[in-house]
Structure 1
Amino acid sequence: MGEASFGNGVIDIAEASEWFGDHMVLGVLVLTRLSTLLMAMPSVGTGVPMRVRSLLAILITFLLLPSVASLTPTESLPRIDHLIDLTIAIAREGLIGMLIGATVQLIITGMQLGGEAITSTGGMQLGDAIDPTTRSSMPSIARLVGLLVTTVMLAVGGHRLLMRLLLDSFKALPAGDVEFSGEMLTLVVDQLTAGMVAGIRVAAPVIAALLLSNIVTGLVSRTLPQINVLAIGLSINALSMLIVLSLTIGSCGLIFQEELAEAARRLEGLW
């Protein structure tokens, strides 16, 4: 009773159904953690159609599931007696995936804020345009910085780094056995600070050049009051901004690589 014979083997139907149910729950939890990571991940979270993102999440889940199953003890899986138990487990997994993706997204957002600071200081606010990925108004320089650092992330293998961090997270925090700590909130605050610092480092040379050009324009206006300072000042500011930005835009990639490596070290320390 409860057994089925196939050839010389005997399969316990109760054990088989329990094994299938455990792996179904594990697959849902892995898919949730991976999906929220992809949602927060640069270059994938925005600009990629929902269908493509869903198929990518399902495909990667099938690839990761054997490795995660070998790392996850059966007793760590939640006992699903009610739908609310599964909902709580899914919410916990989603927060962990969001944490991993947000560590990189906060750096890129901070560097884009540096581009917005350059635009505001240079008086180029009229150059704002609708960003096709976020559907929001964003200065062209901020979009340029965002595209540059996203390209650098893909070129240096940042997407593979995030997948490795995701797999490592299942070792320290098995699926269904997620525990939150104050160190996670500290990590988010540290990454927010690191993103703002990276934005200041990107904008500092250009803003310094713009302040210097304003000082020169002020001295010229005091020496030659008959000159139209407004027209000359705007031209000098735009020229200074473009020259210095063209010379220092390559530093965005180097700054991002440093911050990405530091974010990976922080996450590894957290796990």
Structure 2
Amino acid sequence: MTWPSIFTDTYIVGFILLFFRFAALFIATPIFSHKNIPPTIKVSMAFFFTIVFYSSMPPLEIEINIASIILAILSELFFGLAIGIILLLSYNVITFAGGIISFMMGFSMASAIDPQSGVSMPIISQFLSLMGLMVLLSIDLHHWMLLYINKSLSAIPLGGFLMTENLFNYIILAASNMLVVGFMIAFPIIALAWLADIIFGMLMKTMPQFNLLVIGFPIKIMVSFMVLIATFASAMLILKTQMQEAFNYLEMLF
């Protein structure tokens, strides 16, 4: 490839489409979509990786006109959005479980701004979300995504991604799976909270002088924290498994 040949319309449009593929990746997927990363940094990263992977770009297969270029850009944005939705649904099992745990412990009103999503979130959900983010970094998810984009260049032509019925069905299945797995992670504390409520209710019937607010709630919170610490490693292992399964499905898009 000579220098004059890379400035033809085909390669310029290909560069733009490749840039939007990386930009969509950095906007929608976990780790890269962190709210604390300024948009200028994300754009700069997308531009840098576009230059790095430019030599791996296959020949462009679309016609060079305004309509086809716009449709191709939308296709690349939908491609990144689909990847982001699939991975976020798998990642959000831990925040969903944290919300249930916070409610059962009486911490649902104790919330703070989550630095990753930028929204108010119970503190247990925020803690599990930050720990989950470290798990994603430990399994090199950011490296997986870059390698996935490199592999997708030969499997999915630039501007050639289409939203299929199977993809919609998997997203619906992943959303329902997020609820089931999140409830499964929180179940030990849910069961403990129900048992504690039953015990405290029996104590209040047999001992009317028992002060639930002064004695019962601190005991419930303390025991819940003990169970959370005991099940923390299992919760992170479940998150890791969910993310690996989601990434395995992404390869099926090829």
* TM-score, normalising length: structure 1: 0.86
Residue in 2 aligned with 1:94?
77
Is residue 2:88 matched to residue 1:105?
A: yes
1:4 aligns with none
Q: Does 1:52 align with 2:65?
A: no
The aligned amino acid for 1:236 is I
State yes or no: 1:123 paired with 2:112.
no
User: Are residues 1:20 and 2:8 paired?
Assistant: yes
Amino acid at match of 1:81: N
Among 179, 189, 195, the alignment partner of 2:172 is 189
Q: Deviations over 1:139-175 (max 9, x none)?
A: 1100111111111111111111122222232222211
5+ residue gaps, structure 2: none
The answer to whether the 8 A contact 2:9-2:64 is kept is: no
Equivalents in 1 of 2:118, 2:59: separation in Å?
43
Alignment of 1:63-102 (within 5 A): 63-67=52-56, 69=57, 72-74=58-60, 76=61, 78-82=62-66, 84-102=67-85
- 2:158 is paired with a residue whose SS is coil
The answer to whether the Cα contact below 8 Å between 1:106 and 1:192 also exists between their aligned partners in 2 is yes
Letter in 1 for 2:94: M
Given candidates 211, 236, 245, the residue that maps to 2:219 is 236
2:126 is aligned to 143
- Cα separation, partners in 2 of 1:160 and 1:116, compared to 1, 3 Å: same
Q: Contact between 1:130 and 1:138, CA under 8 Å: does it hold in 2?
A: yes
Moved more, 135-144 or 167-176: 167-176
Say yes or no: does 1:211 pair with 2:194.
yes
Distance 1:133 1:265 in 2: 24
Asked if structure 2 preserves the Cα contact closer than 8 Å seen for 1:97 and 1:166, the reply is no
How far apart are the structure 2 equivalents of 1:179 and 1:104? 18
Once superposed, what is the RMSD of the aligned Cα atoms?
2.0
- Unmatched 5+ residue regions in structure 1? 1-10
Residues 29-48 of structure 1 mapped to structure 2, 5 A cutoff: 29-45=17-33, 46-48=35-37
Q: Which residue of 2 aligns with 1:62?
A: 51
Q: 1:5 — aligned with what?
A: none
Question: Whole-Å Cα distance in 2 between the matches of residues 101 and 190 of structure 1?
Answer: 15
Contact 1:213 1:240 in 2 (8 A): no
Amino acid aligned to 1:127: A
Q: Secondary structure of the equivalent of 1:92? A: helix
Rounded to whole Å, the distance in 1 between the matches of 2:157 and 2:215 is 63
- Deviation track 1:49-92 (CA, whole Å, cap 9, x = no partner) reads 1111111111111111211x2xx244x1x22322x332211011
Residues 50 and 18 (structure 1 numbering): CA distance in 2 closer, same or farther, change over 3 Å? closer
**Amino acid paired to 2:14:** L
In structure 2, the CA distance between the partners of 1:198 and 1:163, relative to structure 1 (3 Å rule), is farther
Counterpart secondary structure, 1:125: coil
TM-score by length of 2: 0.91
CA deviations on 1:163-216 (whole Å, 9 max, x unpaired) are 222223222221122233211212222322332233122211111111111111
In structure 1, give the amino acid aligned to 2:163. F
Query: What letter is aligned with 1:52?
Result: I
